[in-house]
Amino acid sequence: MDFTFNEDQVALRDSVSRFLMTEAAPEVLRDIWETDRGRSPELRAKLAEQGLTAMSVPEVHGGLDLGDIDWSLMTQELGYYAIPDSLSDTAYVAAMLLRRLGADHPLAARWLPRIAEGSARLALAHPANPWVADALSADLVLHAQATDQGLALHALTPGTVSAVSLPSIDGSRRLAALSCTPNPGTQVLAAPDAQGLWDETLDRAAVNVAGQLVGLAQRMLDLSVDYVAQRKQFGKVIGSFQAVKHHLADVATRIEFARPVLYRAAMAVAVGDRHRAALVSHAKLVCADAAWTAGRKGIQVHGAMGYTWEVDLQMFMKRAWALGAAWGDRAFHKARLADALLADGAPLGPAATLN
């Protein structure tokens, strides 16, 4: 399978990376973390100017009409710079959900142009995520209501839902517990018609998180490499010690093995692969493992100071811990993967390998 990205995709990724390098430096992130909302309207506006908010919006609504494969590159950049904003929840996951309703659907026609221009923030409430990111500041909450026939889709505005703020180890994750009573007036799509849409959204959201985890792992590796190249012990930089090299080589290996699994999962979501659930769960597991390993090894080479506020590593490590349980924790994805591998017609063998 060819995972070569075209020139336009690479150019977009590189331009976004250069932009975030200056606009989302660690000292900027610390300042944003300490604000009441944990969000920067100025940064969000600049992200919109770069076209990120319009990526998944159809051209008819002022967007770029890009999809899952393109986002598999962008989510890594958002993770690498630990952007303190659930941008991809709105611009990627929620936008794609609205697209699936149809360009002429009233909800899509109303909200997709606002997403494209960066003036709307959407939150997604799903049983896989009992705590909803950015629910307190969302202009619209897309809510999956459990019914006897499956999940229904409801659109809740601030006046129809209340949210209680919850703490997070990651200072940029603004979580809330929702309290709402969906009614026929808020229902967009009834169950079971909405169930397939929510299943797709769950997988897309998991791929979104997996991409960010790979980006976080790469950033923690880079920070660790920079540190061991400068820190000296016994008259030598500690990066010259074999044990330290082994720690960081382990991280690099896990990242390199995680990326193609991420891209395969993104492609499965894009084309509606019949083994989509297994491929997505595989990606979430290996990408989370790469990030957890990067955090653990990073702490080992930094020493206890890696946990402290003054060291940049702790911001990326905390984000990795928080995202590891987002849109399905390890138990959820291991169970899905086991069900797929033990089922008849499982995606096994050279022609359908998960490796």
Strand order in the sheet with 187-189: 122-125, 140-147, 150-156, 187-189
- pLDDT tens, residue order, the chain (355 aa): 666 899 999 999 999 999 999 999 999 989 998 888 889 999 999 999 999 999 999 999 999 999 999 999 999 999 999 998 889 999 999 999 999 999 899 999 999 999 999 999 999 999 998 899 999 999 999 999 999 999 999 999 988 888 899 988 888 889 999 988 888 999 999 999 999 999 999 999 999 999 999 999 999 999 999 988 887 778 788 776 888 899 999 999 999 999 999 999 999 999 999 999 999 999 999 999 999 999 999 999 998 888 888 899 999 999 999 999 999 999 999 999 999 989 887 877 766 654 4
Distance CA 260, CA 183 (A): 43
Q: Percentages helix, strand, coil for the chain, rounded to the nearest 5? A: 60, 10, 30
Considering only the top CATH level, what class is 195-344? mainly alpha
Domain extents for the chain? 195-344
3-class secondary-structure state, position 232: strand
Q: How far is CA 322 from CA 47, 241, 289, in A?
A: 23, 32, 13
Q: Cα–Cα–Cα angle for 232, 236, 237, nearest 5°?
A: 50
